[in-house]
Each structure stands twice: as C-alpha cells, then as structure tokens.
Amino acid sequence: MYALVINCGSSSLKFALIETKNRQTVISGTAEQLNTPEATITFKHEGKNTESLTDGTHAGAFRAVFDYLQSRDLAGEVIAVGHRVVHGGEYFQKSVEITPEVIEIIKRCAPLAPIHNPANLTGILAAQEVFPTLPHVAVFDTAFHQTMPEEAYLYALPYELYEDFNIRRYGFHGSSHRYITERTAEILDIPLDKINLISCHLGNGASVTAVKEGKSVDTSMGLTPLEGLMMGTRSGSIDPGLVPYLVERLNYDIYELDHLLNFKSGLLGISGVSNDCRTLELKANEGDKRCQLALDMFAYRVAKTVASYLPALQKLDAIVFTGGIGENSSYVRELIMEQLAFLGYAFSRPSNEHCVRGTEGVIATSSAFGKALVVCTDEEGMIVQDTLEIIGKKA
C-alpha cells in the first residue's frame, strides 16, 4: 500500500509515492511552470524522465501523476493523500483530515500566506478530483509552533490587532523541525519530552526553532516566512522604518516592495550572483568578495539567532543542522560554529566535512551545551506518518 504526498506551489506541484510499511519513496517528481505553455512534469522512477504537459494546470498535472501511477498498476494501491499546507493560523495544532470545513479555514488563512495557501488549496482540489474516494490529510507548517508561549508569539503592537486580525508570529517549517526533534531524541537516546535543542533548517528558506522538552517555544519566522534569518532571496528581518523610506525614495508601491523583500534580497541580493549556496562558495573561493560577504552574513545571523534562544531553553542538549544548506554545506556549518565557539564547542573539521549528501553525525561537542549534529530532515515522512495515523484512527 502507498501514500501519495503532495506539495503544491503557485506554479509547481511536487509529489512522492511512499510505501507505507517501510516509508521508502517509490516514485517522485515535480511539475513546473504550470499555467504556462512551457509546463512540464518530471518523474523520478528507475531513472529520470521529463515530459511536456498538454494540460498545464494543476489539475492537469495531477491527472498526469494519476495516469503515470495507473500505467504501472499503482494507482489502485494508494490508500491516502497527504498535503503540505503552509498556514493553519491558530485553528490547527496538529494535522487533520480534509473536510469542507477545513477547506474553508484554509481559505480563511489565505491572507496570512497569500502565495502559499491558495496554491496548497489548488493542489487539494485537484487531488480530490482525481482521488474522490480517498481520505486527504492536511499537514500544516504552522502546527508544531502552536506551543509557543504568548511572550514569544505576540508582536509588541496594540493588542487589538491580535484579537481582531490574528496578527502574531506563527512560524513555519514545522514538519521539518518536528522530525528533527524526534530524530535527534532518538540519536541521543533522550526521552522526547526531556530534550532541549535548537533546530536550524537552512535552505533557500531558512528558520531556527528553540525546542524545550520536545515542544517549540520560539522560532525565527513570524506572521509570514519573511521574518527572521537572511535566506536565499528573502531579506529576513529588517527595520520596519525601511518600508516607508523605500516607498518614498524608490517610489515603490507595496507590491513592488514585497517583491523586493521576498525575491530580490537575501543571498541573491548581497552577492548579486545567485541564491544557491554552492555557487556562492565556488565564487567566494575564486575571490568574489560579495559572495563571501553573503555567506558571512548568513552564518552570522544563524549564529546570532541560535545564541538568542539560550535564555528560552536554559539547558541545551543539541544544536542541529538540517535542510539543503544545513545538510550539505560543511563550509557554512563551520562558519556558524566559529561564531559559537564562545559556548565551548570542540569542533571536528573531519567529522563536519564527512557529513554531506545524506550522512548524519556529530560535528562538535561542548561540556555545557551538548552536541552539534547534522541530521537529515524528512518532511515527506512526517506527512506520511500523520496521514497514516489519522486514517488509522478513523478506521
């Protein structure tokens, strides 16, 4: 039996067919440039194959996935579909089976994630059209962070803005941070309800989460995924006074400003070259000072955020690196750990360089602050786990 995992973006649809018993991915792929004449779909199954989509909509892409599964006699073996949904507001503290009421709440949360939630909903509706009799489960990026206390999630704004408009910090990458928490507790042989760690999900989108006794108590992203760390193309936190200043000086409207902060800033904006860490490392090694500056800024902001979470935890068992950069860039990890040397970490460069391309391990130790580890995240695995638990309880 299989579960189908869907992660739908505004112009893309990622999917993975996962065997429910051993949690192994059998088929995966991505539909890209949807709603354009250049729409394609790539299947990774006994090789890699890319095809043009005659129907380049999300529904057309999902039908192409169904046809591919059906041609291999696998469509009838799918027992449930799990969907990544970015924003669940304060409505969801855990994953839920998708009902008409849940769909309405996802729509209600769309203003909090205008790029993501409508796309997630498009994927849900497309999947329900192709698999109308199967259970569909929503797994929310925000759910893991619903355990944050008020002093962590409230903004210092008039309280009525929270009461009337739900303006607060929500956090994201919840499935990844939750998986990292459970996996690290397993690796270190610490009960889940006892472990304190700082999880660094570093990729094109990046966030850091403080986990106390197995629960999120603070995280770097806020109302939207723009707050917090410098990222691939996102600025991260800035002085709010910069907004009216840029509007006045550049004559930007709010949409141009939003595009600047979300798509033209971060590693890309500083380097002027790329948002890809691998490219920046190559260029920096060749002497490109702006690429080096981008990497230094990124590492400094991660280290600063990690250190800022120590008061919330008091006791620290582990700092954990994950995500595309966190799992694969030994250079960026070393830059970060250099900034955290004041915590007494004994850093192992050989161990650090060994932990790439799916290799987990300890890269530093401290007598007072535990270990620094690289752990490979599995957001799809968490979606499958939640999906199977929910349909199991229903059965």
Q: Is 56 annotated as a binding residue?
A: no
Q: Are strands 136-140 and 78-85 parallel, antiparallel or unpaired?
A: parallel
Q: Is 14 annotated as a binding residue?
A: yes
The verdict on whether residue 360 carries a ligand-binding annotation is: no
* 323 annotated to a ligand binding site: no
84 is in an annotated binding site: yes
180 labeled part of a ligand binding site:
no
Beta strands in the chain (DSSP E): 2-8, 13-19, 25-32, 40-44, 48-52, 78-85, 96-97, 136-140, 197-202, 206-212, 215-219, 318-322, 346-347, 361-366, 370-374
**Is 352 known as a binding-site position?**
no
Is 379 among the annotated ligand-binding positions? yes
Strand pairing category for 197-202 and 318-322 = parallel
Q: Tell me whether residue 287 is exposed, middle or buried, using C-beta atoms within 10 angstroms of its C-beta: 0 to 12, 13 to 18, 19 or more.
A: exposed
Q: Does 82 show up as a binding residue in the annotation?
A: no
Within 10 Å of residue 219's Cβ, how many Cβ atoms? 30
Rounded (10°) angle between helices 330-339 and 277-285: 80
Q: State yes or no: is 253 an active-site residue.
A: no
202 is in an annotated binding site: yes
Number of DSSP helices (H) and strands (E) in the chain, helices first: 16, 15
Q: Which of 55, 67, 141, 189 is catalytic?
A: 141
73 is in an annotated binding site: no
Q: Which amino acid is at 350?
A: P
Report the binding-site residues: 7, 14, 84, 201-205, 276-278, 324-328, 379
Report the binding-site residues for Mg(2+): 7, 379
Report the binding-site residues for ATP: 14, 201-205, 276-278, 324-328
Question: Which residues are annotated as catalytic?
Answer: 141
